[in-house]
């Protein structure tokens, strides 16, 4: 288990050079876009433009801050536009698709989850927290990433406790099954729970 503080997240350029992301976690560590098995990051979209072409990767993408974006998608014989303007509402699409991003009104902050098709899969859920700790089960051999949009949130595990502020994450990737509990520090909060498993 480790805590990834938002302020300490390494900055990684996009594959197409059009912007940067802050890396929350990836496997294998240090792998590039063409060889990574899974990747969770926090891109900042400062200008409209084309997304990187990422063959073999499945993506889940959600708005964190800002007015949002419209994604103009073309792939698998279909062409459509999808508006991403509701915070923390995941939208799934393929990295193989041609995607052009149009900002709605200024810079957008997003959360991006990518998995290598045929090798890994990820589920994304939004948990509503209160002041009573809520248990989250991490099955054996699964990786759990719990990302905090806004704190404080307290995480409880066999390793002790930790306080998460906005943009912090708990990453649990030990092989055994593990229980982690989370509670809102100010009465109510939301948490993004990402589960990554091998396929």
pTM: 0.95
Domains of the chain (ranges plus CATH)?
A: 2-118 (2.60.120.10), 121-198 (2.60.120.10)
Confidence check: pLDDT of 185 > 90: no
Average pLDDT score over residue span 162-180: 93
Pairing of strands 38-45, 108-116: antiparallel
Spatial separation of the C-alpha atoms in residues 144 and 141, rounded to whole Å = 10
Which of the pair, 194 or 159, is modelled with greater confidence? 194
For residue 43, what pLDDT band results from cuts at 50, 70 and 90?
very high
Count CB atoms within 10 A of the CB of residue 153.
Answer: 25
Asked if 136 and 181 count as a contact pair (C-beta separation under 8 A), the reply is yes
Report phi then psi at 4, rounded to 5. -105, 105
Closest CA to 185 of 154, 161, 160: 154
Confidence check: pLDDT of 175 > 90: no
């Amino acid at each position: 288990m480790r805590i990834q503080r938002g302020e300490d997240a390494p900055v990684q350029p996009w594959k197409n050079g059009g912007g940067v992301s802050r890396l929350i976690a990836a496997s294998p560590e240090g792998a590039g876009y063409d060889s990574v098995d899974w990747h969770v990051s926090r891109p900042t979209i400062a200008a409209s433009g084309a997304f990187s072409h990422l063959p073999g990767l499945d993506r889940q993408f959600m708005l964190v801050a800002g007015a949002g974006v419209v994604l103009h998608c073309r792939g698998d014989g279909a062409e459509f536009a999808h508006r991403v303007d509701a915070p923390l509402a995941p939208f799934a699409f393929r990295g193989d698709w041609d995607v052009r991003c149009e900002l709605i009104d200024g810079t957008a902050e997003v959360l991006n989850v990518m998995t290598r098709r045929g090798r890994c899969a990820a589920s994304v859920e939004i948990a509503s927290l209160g002041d009573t700790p809520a248990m989250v089960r991490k099955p054996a051999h699964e990786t759990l990433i719990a990302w905090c949009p806004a704190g404080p949130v307290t995480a409880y595990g066999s390793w002790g406790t930790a306080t998460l502020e906005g943009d912090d994450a708990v990453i649990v990737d030990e092989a055994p099954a593990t229980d982690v509990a989370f509670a809102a520090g100010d009465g109510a909060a939301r948490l993004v729970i990402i589960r990554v498993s091998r396929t």
